[in-house]
């Protein structure tokens, strides 16, 4: 029997839980040719959501990942190669010929597929490519804020091309403050350009039904306590719900007597080396800041808390929190949260040991 829980890749069909309202909102926006920006921390399910919404409604789209771009050239390369990969073999050569008017493309075919190099481009390349591609596809830009970090000017030019295109664009991103700036600050090029969806977690009752259905189907029993432990520890963040359910399922298929806390300990200790490494690379005040978040309910900046955790002043804590946010370890969403709830649990465990 295969483990029915899937993490770390796009989930579809019965592996995809709910998100009905969000799917409706996406379809509505795309049908009316408006633009959309979807914001959430990593691993909440942005990519899976958009892909499910568009696929289920037969809307052709291209998915462009904006992380790890080094310059405009590489961005154009990603656009062209993603576009060409989608075309039928016969169309490819024809399109290459067509696109060569705007960008100078070198390409090779191999068993793995096609590889594209943009040898030369000019001022109007971006314009022409975007217009050509969006004739047939909705463009989805993943981690869009990275493009803005890379090259503000490129983003400005992109905006001026896009405003003349009668097709939707979808932007996804996980660095909230940058996206808020980009899409809702009057001074930003993308001000008021797209409707914003703040993608939240999936509710506990929906997860419960989802997990139970998987258990029934595979005839493996997770107890009510197991499910409660999974939801508590994962904080209902989609990736971690699937991740923990996966490991609980692996345990329960052979051992019904072990209790949920023991299972969690096993999972955390199998990841210990990753967390150790992460922790070891932090500065003293970053570690203190994390321990404050683990141990204290609130009032992080109070004199008592600072004193107990041996931090000289509130500015130091502020700086440490900002750098942890920059590293993607925590996120401020009303309050500070760990992006990886298992890392938080790991810190709790090592605190208990000392």
Ligand X SMILES: Nc1ncnc2c1ncn2[C@@H]1O[C@H](COP(=O)(O)OP(=O)(O)O)[C@@H](O)[C@H]1O
Looking at beta carbons only, is 78 or 95 nearer to Mg ion?
78
Q: By C-alpha distance, which of 299, 297, 304, 287 is closest to 354? A: 287
Looking at beta carbons only, is 175 or 344 nearer to ligand X?
175
Contact partner, 102, from Mg ion, ligand X, none, Cβ < 5-8 Å per class? none
Residues that bind ligand X (CB under 6 A): 6-9, 11, 16-17, 19, 40, 42-48, 238-239, 242
Looking at beta carbons only, is 121 or 210 nearer to ligand X?
210
Looking at beta carbons only, is 227 or 289 nearer to ligand X?
227
- Judged by CB under 5 A, the residue of 29, 47, 234, 339 near Mg ion is 47
For residue 40, the minimal CB distance to ligand X (Å) is 6
For residue 130, the minimal CB distance to Mg ion (Å) is 22
d(CA 2, CA 72): 43
Stretch that binds Mg ion, among 47-55, 68-76, 242-250, 269-277 (CB under 5 A): 47-55
For residue 143, the minimal CB distance to ligand X (Å) is 9
Contact partner, 9, from ligand X, Mg ion, none, Cβ < 5-8 Å per class? ligand X
For residue 142, the minimal CB distance to ligand X (Å) is 7
Q: By C-alpha distance, which of 272, 246, 240, 296 is closest to 346? A: 272
d(CA 230, CA 225): 9
For residue 239, the minimal CB distance to ligand X (Å) is 4
Query: Buried b vs exposed e over 307-342: b needs ≥16 C-beta within 10 Å?
Result: eebebeeeeebeebbebbbeeebbbeeeebbbbbbb
Looking at beta carbons only, is 67 or 259 nearer to Mg ion?
67
Tell me, rounded to whole angstroms, the distance of Cα 166 from its chain centroid: 27
For residue 206, the minimal CB distance to ligand X (Å) is 9
Contact partner, 78, from ligand X, Mg ion, none, Cβ < 5-8 Å per class? none
80 lines the binding site for Mg ion (CB under 5 A): no
d(CA 238, CA 113): 33
Looking at beta carbons only, is 19 or 175 nearer to ligand X?
19
Looking at beta carbons only, is 142 or 251 nearer to Mg ion?
142
Q: H/E element holding 2?
A: none
Pairing of strands 138-142, 169-173: parallel
Q: By C-alpha distance, which of 68, 247, 227, 32 is closest to 142? A: 68
Q: H/E element holding 171?
A: strand 169-173
Phi, psi of 349 (to 5 degrees): -65, -45
CA distances to 30, 53, 85, 110, 144 from 16, rounded to whole Å, are 21, 11, 26, 34, 24
For residue 8, the minimal CB distance to Mg ion (Å) is 11
By CB under 5 A, name the binding residues for Mg ion.
47
């Amino acid at each position: 029997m295969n483990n029915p829980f899937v993490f770390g890749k796009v989930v579809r069909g019965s592996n995809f839980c709910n998100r009905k309202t969000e799917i409706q909102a996406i379809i509505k926006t795309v049908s009316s040719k408006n633009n959309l920006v979807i914001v959430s921390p990593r691993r909440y399910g942005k990519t899976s959501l958009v892909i499910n919404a568009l696929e289920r409604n037969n809307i052709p789209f291209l998915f462009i990942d904006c992380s790890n771009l080094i310059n405009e050239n590489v961005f154009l390369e990603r656009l062209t190669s993603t576009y060409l990969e989608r075309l039928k073999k016969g169309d490819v050569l024809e399109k290459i010929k067509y696109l060569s008017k705007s960008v100078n493309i070198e390409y090779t075919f191999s068993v793995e597929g096609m590889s594209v190099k943009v040898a030369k481009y000019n001022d109007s390349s971006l314009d022409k490519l975007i217009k050509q591609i969006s004739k047939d596809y909705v463009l989805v830009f993943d981690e869009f804020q990275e493009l803005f970090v890379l090259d503000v000017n490129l983003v400005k030019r992109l905006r001026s091309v896009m405003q003349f295109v009668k097709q939707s664009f979808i932007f996804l991103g996980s660095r909230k403050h940058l996206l808020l700036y980009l899409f809702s600050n009057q001074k930003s090029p993308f001000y008021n350009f797209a409707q914003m969806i703040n993608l939240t977690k999936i509710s506990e009752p929906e997860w419960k039904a989802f997990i139970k259905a998987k258990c029934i189907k595979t005839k493996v029993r997770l107890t009510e306590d197991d499910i409660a432990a999974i939801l508590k520890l994962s904080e209902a963040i989609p990736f971690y719900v699937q991740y923990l359910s996966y490991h609980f399922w692996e345990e329960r298929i052979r051992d019904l007597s072990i209790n949920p806390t023991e299972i969690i300990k096993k999972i955390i200790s199998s990841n210990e080396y990753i967390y150790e490494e992460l922790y070891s690379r932090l500065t003293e005040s970053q570690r203190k800041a994390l321990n404050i978040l683990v141990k204290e309910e609130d009032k992080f900046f109070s004199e008592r808390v600072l004193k107990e955790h041996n931090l000289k002043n509130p500015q130091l804590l502020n700086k440490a929190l900002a750098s942890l946010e920059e590293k993607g370890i925590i996120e401020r969403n009303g309050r500070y949260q760990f992006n990886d709830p298992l890392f938080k649990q790991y810190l709790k465990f090592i605190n208990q040991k000392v």
